[in-house]
Structure 1
Amino acid sequence: MLNLAVVLEDSARDTPDATAVVFGDLRLPYSLVNTIANQVANLLAARGVGRGDKVALACPNLPYFPFVYYGILKAGATVVPLNVLLQAREIAYHLDDSDAKAFFCFEGTPELPLGERGRAGFAEAGRAEHFVVLPATPFATESAYGETLWAALDGMPGEFETVQTSPEDTAVILYTSGTTGQPKGAELSHQNMVMNAVISDEMFRRQDRNAYLVALPLFHSFGQTVLMNAGFRRRATLVLMPRFEPAGALALMEQEEVTLFAGVPTMYWAMLTAVRTGAAAAPSSLVTAASGGSALPVEVLKDFSATFGVDILEGYGLSETSPVASFNQPGRPAKAGSIGTPVWGVEMKLVDPEWNTVGDPDGIGEIAVRGHNIMKGYHNRPEATAEVMRDGWFRTGDMARRDEDGYYFIVDRAKDMIIRGGFNVYPREIEEVLMTHPAVSLAAVVGVPHESHGEEVKAYVIRTPGDTTTEEELVAWSRETMAAYKYPRIVEFRESLPMTATGKILKRELR
């Protein structure tokens, strides 16, 4: 028997008084987080929700998230975390697609009217029976959107015997962003999630005091596994930040003596820019920095190391791989620009479109992964599952090469590749070169339709503050620096780039 809630329960039993969660002035010990999770489990059991049922959760990085997440797991049910930026119609789709029986939804704020959208989505959905509001005012027992958590928990016991789930039972259904078609729910078992939390925890250096800044959204696999589940297993203190803002994040790191930060490349770029422009100072306590979510530009990696005195360890994974598949691991040299080597118990290889292994040492292929981290499949989507899985291998959609030491280097997403006049152009390579130019602070390269070449290479660039380089000058420099078929013929300066809630650049909006 195995239940992912063990990462909280073990720590609450051994270190009940240690601080589990910091949010503003609130400091919550492990014992309290576990007790409220027990009350949530009792509430679900009382409402007829149990093993195998699905429960949706839409909540930013607030103490409610772990309370409800582990409460759902303790009840033997499956957590369906939802992106907090979803609109009502999209919420209804996720509730119906996952067969959710209950829905815990944050009341929201004027800037993020989540309660309103959640209630409307719940009303539109066909099957969900229970709607519980997580109120914006602490401990509020009333809300315009329905029954609040605190009203529902009134009188619920703080003890609960966790339902014995099997390692194969589904612990979490994570919806993939759905760049093509409707989002699909990756079903991850208790074993998938526990193993990934353990391996993530083992990879990072232990301190006498461990404090993690949780700015990555917890509804996303990276924040959930690497920060929350692994952090609770380590008995670390999780400092919650509902919305990432670079100067605020750096100030919070200094104030709370944060030892570990995990983020996506745009977060590192933003923090670096904040220090460079004098808006913030680098924190003194940081020991470990991990990056994932998308490829980290080598220039950002170098600059961060020089400015913060901490090397960023880059890893790789997807929702479908729980998420960590490879990492620049301690005890082995880290290679800049590499996603490292497969983590313990996981295999990786490069394949062609027919699943043949790419044997050529310099060959580029699509990453395929096999191991304890691979999802059970997409929820109720056997055809979609069959497309990406074969003999236990999962194909990722990411193109990479492997060096002689077995380190993998992402070349690009298969679907982001630009085909210009019959030549394959990988946007990531162009972005890396552009970012060596002093004028370029951040770059995103996409293919735009072209009459004769099929696609043309276009770069969207955020300039370094105060720089006056023109678009024409940057194109001319690119022509000198890159092969004729690669360099961007079109450059457009932007103040900002469109990003997902998790900080990935949305290239589909730039096309």
Structure 2
Amino acid sequence: MDMSEKVWLEYYPEEVAPSYEYPKQNLAQFMIDTAKKFPQQTAIFFYGKKITYEQLLKETYQFANSLKKLGLEKGDRVAIMLPNCPASIIAYYGALMIGAIVVQTNPLYTERELEHQLNDAGVKVVIALDHLFKRVQNVLPKVEVEHTIFTSMKDYLPFPKNILYPIKAKKDGLSMEVSYDQHTHSFKKLLSNAPAKPINVLIDVEEDLALLQYTGGTTGVSKGVMLTHYNLVANTLQTRAWVYRSEEKRERYLAMLPFFHVFGMTTLMNLSIKLGGMLILLPKFDVNMALKLIDKMKPTTFPGAPTMYLSLIHHPKIKNYDLSSINVCISGAAPLPGEVQERFEEITGGKLIEGYGLTEASPVTHANNIWEKRKLGSIGIPFPDTIAKVVEPETGKELENGEVGELIIQGPQVMKGYWKRPEETSNTLKDGWLYTGDMAKMDDQGFFYIVDRKKDLIIAGGFNIYPREIEEVLFEHPAIMDAAAVGVPDEYRGETVKAYIVLKKGATTDEKELEKFCRERLAAYKIPRIYEFRDSLPKSLVGKTLRRLLEEE
């Protein structure tokens, strides 16, 4: 497909070019440049505490030097197991400055999930919250981690919140106890003992990894997506080009999407740092807190998942808050219902558009126009320098407009491959194309629509859940003979997990017991919400459980 065949270019805004030059630089260079340009600009707002770009860069340099002191070198893997808080940003860019590879780790992970990821990535250092101390400690004997670093929410809270936080944490049943030794460090102490001298290790931006971002993939076992500095720099600048009305120093980003998810990392953290914006951090989505923050802090940009917008528009007291500061919202991670889009735009006066991406593409590849032509129910058109087409999944033959096939993508944001999985890489990257595993169609104007997922992925509240992982846990239960997990429609989460269970002869168990069993082995968002006990499950001739049939029921 050459430029002339990209029918969608006709619908590009005048301000967006079809192609850009992407600087060959360390991703952390965005922070260094912005701090030089706007040192006194507020970079982070966290529960009332403000941190300027100058201060943020200083602490990032201190963290980078701390890692060096601990013996970390270019290419070593650093796991960041934090919700959105100042330490998560400092640790991310600090690790990149020394050429280390960041492994974003979901703080909700159970010990089992954590062990798999730390072992698979060969992580040397873990940075986590104090109340995850026990969970991390329990995993350490089974992994080769050399150092752990613990931070606390109170580290960056303003007075008197920093004094009150431990009382609240205790009330919520969160332990802040950490036993420090030569391998277990305090984040704040490491910073105060390290120089703030600039550090920027020479890297090959197109080859060297910035990130190992874990995704469930088609096989259910979580695997690391290798993203280079160039991939992430390009996707940040592609996103920047798309929101062309955003101005340096002027934007305020409501950061509720987690940075450990690649969507939040690119469209919030990296983009805001590039533009000298202010990140208004919320460690987890809380609709009441969100409304108060929008009313008080006047964010201009709010990328999110459909569940976030849904809970805002249905809030009983929505009329008491002023949401008119919001100009742009990009919805991703799950399909956006049309009525949510219309109602949200009515309330805020801003634009809410649907986009599309996947971890393997850093992640954004498509979006609807924000201020020009867009189509309801569509994921929009490809980003600059991005080519997409719909093909016959087996042969790779391009299909006619309107025909449903597999969506494949080419662009500077496409991953290098899967970490230590050459076979999976060659199944996904073929002749320079990324096979997404999503079934789609393109109309004659170049707008794309996701029709179905080739994989049996369940997306609940923007989180990817792989049925096989849940089934493997269920199979461990002594009473269970057979099990299948499928996604069922859920008004709030988009989809929720339903488990079909076949018990062994003479064995008994109930929903309550299974819920407890799963809770010990799976992150909260993966736990089945509905259980159905039956005598058998539908199978194919080769004995594969036919999930589709269960879903259709």
Fold equivalence (TM over 0.5): yes
Bigger mean CA offset, 115-124 vs 209-218: 115-124
Distance between the aligned counterparts of 2:525 and 2:294, measured in 1? 19
Residue 452 of structure 2 corresponds to residue 412 of structure 1 = yes
Equivalent of 1:166 in 187, 204, 224: 204
Paired residue secondary structure (1:147): strand
Deviation at 1:330, TM superposition (A): 4.4
Q: How big is each residue's C-alpha offset from its partner over 1:102-153, in whole Å with a ceiling of 9 and x where there is no partner?
A: 1111113xxxxx222122223321x211111113431799833632112223
Which residue of structure 2 lines up, in the alignment, with residue 152 of structure 1? 190
Deviation at 1:39, TM superposition (A): 0.8
Paired residue secondary structure (1:138): helix
Judged with a 3 Å threshold, the aligned counterparts in structure 2 of structure 1 residues 507 and 76 are, in CA distance, closer, same or farther, namely: farther
The 5 Å alignment of 1:44-55 reads 44-55=67-78
Distance between the aligned counterparts of 1:369 and 1:36, measured in 2? 38
Contact 2:65 / 2:199 at 8 angstroms: preserved in 1?
Answer: no
Distance between the aligned counterparts of 2:331 and 2:435, measured in 1? 22
Letter in 1 for 2:408: A
Equivalent of 1:375 in 382, 392, 415: 415
Distance between the aligned counterparts of 1:297 and 1:367, measured in 2? 21
Bigger mean CA offset, 45-54 vs 226-235: 45-54
Which residue of structure 2 lines up, in the alignment, with residue 186 of structure 1? 225
The 5 Å alignment of 1:316-327 reads 316-327=356-367
The 5 Å alignment of 1:69-88 reads 69-88=92-111
| Structure 2: tracts of 5 or more residues without a match | 1-23, 157-161, 163-175, 460-466, 468-483, 493-518, 533-550
Paired residue secondary structure (1:84): coil
Deviation at 1:319, TM superposition (A): 0.6
Equivalent of 1:344 in 384, 399, 410: 384
Judged with a 3 Å threshold, the aligned counterparts in structure 2 of structure 1 residues 107 and 152 are, in CA distance, closer, same or farther, namely: same
Deviation at 1:504, TM superposition (A): 10
Which residue of structure 2 lines up, in the alignment, with residue 143 of structure 1? 178
Equivalent of 2:141 in 103, 107, 123: 123
Contact 2:351 / 2:370 at 8 angstroms: preserved in 1?
Answer: no
When normalised by structure 2's length, the TM-score is 0.73
Bigger mean CA offset, 127-136 vs 183-192: 127-136
Q: How big is each residue's C-alpha offset from its partner over 1:415-454, in whole Å with a ceiling of 9 and x where there is no partner?
A: 349xxxxxxxxx99xxxxxxxxxxxxxxxxx9xxxxxxxx
Which residue of structure 1 lines up, in the alignment, with residue 434 of structure 2? 394
> RMSD of the alignment, in Å?
3.0
Percent sequence identity over matched residues? 35
Distance between the aligned counterparts of 1:179 and 1:307, measured in 2? 39
Letter in 2 for 1:121: V
- Number of equivalenced pairs: 435
Q: How big is each residue's C-alpha offset from its partner over 1:3-54, in whole Å with a ceiling of 9 and x where there is no partner?
A: 0101111101111110000001210000111111111111111122111111
Distance between the aligned counterparts of 2:364 and 2:59, measured in 1? 29
Judged with a 3 Å threshold, the aligned counterparts in structure 2 of structure 1 residues 506 and 324 are, in CA distance, closer, same or farther, namely: farther
Equivalent of 1:270 in 311, 331, 352: 311
Deviation at 1:161, TM superposition (A): 2.2
Deviation at 1:394, TM superposition (A): 0.8
Which residue of structure 1 lines up, in the alignment, with residue 55 of structure 2? 32
- Work out which structure has the larger RCO, using CA pairs closer than 8 Å and 6 or more positions apart in sequence: 2
Judged with a 3 Å threshold, the aligned counterparts in structure 2 of structure 1 residues 190 and 294 are, in CA distance, closer, same or farther, namely: same
Q: How big is each residue's C-alpha offset from its partner over 1:377-429, in whole Å with a ceiling of 9 and x where there is no partner?
A: 01001111111110111111111111111000111212349xxxxxxxxx99x
Distance between the aligned counterparts of 2:140 and 2:73, measured in 1? 20
Which residue of structure 2 lines up, in the alignment, with residue 281 of structure 1? 321
Letter in 1 for 2:376: A
Judged with a 3 Å threshold, the aligned counterparts in structure 2 of structure 1 residues 231 and 116 are, in CA distance, closer, same or farther, namely: same
Which residue of structure 1 lines up, in the alignment, with residue 472 of structure 2? none
Judged with a 3 Å threshold, the aligned counterparts in structure 2 of structure 1 residues 55 and 359 are, in CA distance, closer, same or farther, namely: same
Equivalent of 1:197 in 211, 217, 236: 236
Contact 1:247 / 1:279 at 8 angstroms: preserved in 2?
Answer: no
Contact 1:272 / 1:304 at 8 angstroms: preserved in 2?
Answer: yes
Equivalent of 1:244 in 277, 280, 285: 285
Distance between the aligned counterparts of 2:82 and 2:442, measured in 1? 39
Contact 2:26 / 2:203 at 8 angstroms: preserved in 1?
Answer: yes
Which residue of structure 1 lines up, in the alignment, with residue 130 of structure 2? 107
| Structure 1: tracts of 5 or more residues without a match | 109-113, 418-426, 429-445, 447-454, 464-497
Equivalent of 1:226 in 267, 270, 280: 267
Letter in 2 for 1:135: S
Distance between the aligned counterparts of 1:505 and 1:220, measured in 2? 19
Paired residue secondary structure (2:314): helix
The 5 Å alignment of 1:270-309 reads 270-274=311-315, 278=318, 281-309=321-349
